[in-house]
Amino acid sequence: MNVVLGVGGGIAAYKSCELARALMQRGLSVRVAMTSGAQEFVRPLTFASLTGQKVITGLFASASPEATLSSAVEHIGVAQENQLLAVAPATADLLGKFAHGLADDFLTTLYLAFRGPVVLAPAMNTHMWQHAATQANLAALRARGHRIVEPGDGYLACGSVGPGRMAEPEAIAEAVWAELNPRRDLEGETVLITAGPTQEPLDPVRYISNRSSGKMGYALAEAALQRGARVILVSGPVRLDPPQGAALVPVRTAIEMRQAVFDHLDPATIVIKSAAVADFHLASVPSHKVKKTAARISLELDPTPDILSEVGRRKGDRLLIGFAAETENLKAEARRKLETKNADMIVGNLVNQSGTGFESDQNEVVLALRTGDFVELPRASKRELADLIFDQILKLRLARYATQS
């Protein structure tokens, strides 16, 4: 199989030499296309020597007056000859150009001409990574179905510490391999996923909510779709584009979320409740805006419906997975929830650690199982964890078949 490795102008370009080797070790033929920025960091000769193929260094590099049409329109030829486009490092600049369809060099033009799967490994300074523009570009690219190999946390070449360091070459090569050889082990399953926060109105202009970003639930939806499942995504208000192929059911309040879950429960074979549903709400919301006065006011809140418990009572032979976001006693809480809600697995995560939890792209979770065991998953991107969680869910499925037969 043939892949194009696009290399952008970031310090991590040197790591892409190792990536080229890791891809070739998997039997892939690797054609490298470097941006002019990338050529400031690594010489094309290095990649040419590693891959044994001519490196593409520009849109017009091979378009001499004597060139034939096919050699001159190389971006179209390369797009047709390769099964996958991987870009590492994917600079902030490249993410922006891909997201907006700009095509002012070979790699960006190839991107538009390319029809196969795309794997992007971003790398940049933490502030560049966290900038709203970069995050909006990433959301658009994710929604297009591209696989983003999330950068890790750590010391960056610019001297700062935080997210932005390109994933290790082996992890990127694994993601490329997974895209080329997709697992379809969730085919036939319908996965109902709840994600994001709920908003509980206090009056027509105010509400109470929580810090859930929905990233974990959306990562689970993306993983399930890629592994062949049908996905119904019941989502509270989030700033994420739903993955392509998911049936999105947008909701706002806990009551609406409960209704949406039971409206769509019938076809579901797996239910994953990753939403951070408000525990309390104002049962009777005033129809007018509450006026500011000097007096203290107090809110009397009522408990919201416990959707997880209710699904637990009515789940039939569905697999039910709940989430426990805790700030202490994680394992004990996950175990308590597993038992009291009749769930098959609880994914517990501590939301008060730096670099993981609600708004983060990374997470560190522990899975509580009905056998009494805990499975501790390593700190990883939410997308990687989503696959590890589904691996565990499939083990539960197999164990159930084994006890039934």
Ligand X SMILES: Cc1cc2nc3c(=O)[nH]c(=O)nc-3n(C[C@H](O)[C@H](O)[C@H](O)COP(=O)(O)O)c2cc1C
User: In this chain, which stretch among 84-92, 173-181, 216-224, 228-236 interacts with ligand X, using CB under 6 A?
Assistant: 84-92
User: In this chain, which stretch among 90-98, 178-186, 220-228, 279-287 interacts with ligand X, using CB under 6 A?
Assistant: 90-98
**According to CB under 6 A, which one of 3, 6, 8, 231 is a site residue for ligand X?**
8
Partners of 177 in the beta sheet? none
Is residue 9 near ligand X by the rule CB under 6 A? Answer: yes
Give 283's contacts (C-beta < 8 A, 6+ positions apart). 302
Q: What's the CA angle centered on 349, arms 347 and 351, to 5 degrees?
A: 150
Question: Please, which residue, 58 or 201, has the CB nearer to ligand X?
Answer: 58
| Assigned token pair, 222 | 């993306």
**According to CB under 6 A, which one of 56, 94, 121, 345 is a site residue for ligand X?**
94
Give 137's contacts (C-beta < 8 A, 6+ positions apart). 92, 95, 96, 98, 99, 100
Q: Exposure of 215 by Cβ count < 10 A (0-12 exposed, 13-18 middle, 19+ buried)? A: buried
Is residue 151 near ligand X by the rule CB under 6 A? Answer: no
Cβ of residue 100: shortest distance to ligand X, in angstroms?
13
Question: Please, which residue, 12 or 121, has the CB nearer to ligand X?
Answer: 12
Of the residues 158, 283, 290, 398, which is catalytic? 158
Is residue 91 near ligand X by the rule CB under 6 A? Answer: yes
**How many residues does this entry show for the chain?**
405
**According to CB under 6 A, which one of 35, 194, 360, 381 is a site residue for ligand X?**
35
Is residue 123 near ligand X by the rule CB under 6 A? Answer: yes
Cβ of residue 267: shortest distance to ligand X, in angstroms?
43
Binding residues for ligand X, how many (CB under 6 A)?
Answer: 16
Question: Please, which residue, 163 or 357, has the CB nearer to ligand X?
Answer: 163
**Can you tell me whether residue 226 is helix, strand or coil?**
helix
**According to CB under 6 A, which one of 6, 10, 197, 243 is a site residue for ligand X?**
10
State yes or no: is 158 an active-site residue.
yes
Is residue 246 near ligand X by the rule CB under 6 A? Answer: no
Partners of 32 in the beta sheet? 5
Is residue 93 near ligand X by the rule CB under 6 A? Answer: yes
- Alpha helices, H only, 248-378: 254-263, 307-314, 330-340
Between CA 373 and CA 388 the distance in angstroms is 16
For residues 67, 73, 75, 81, the Cα torsion angle rounded to the nearest 10 degrees is: -90
Is residue 109 near ligand X by the rule CB under 6 A? Answer: no
Contact 21, 88 (CB under 8 A): no
In the complex, the residues that contact ligand X under the rule CB under 6 A are 8-12, 35, 37-38, 89, 91-94, 123-124, 128
Indicate which residues carry an active-site annotation.
Answer: 158
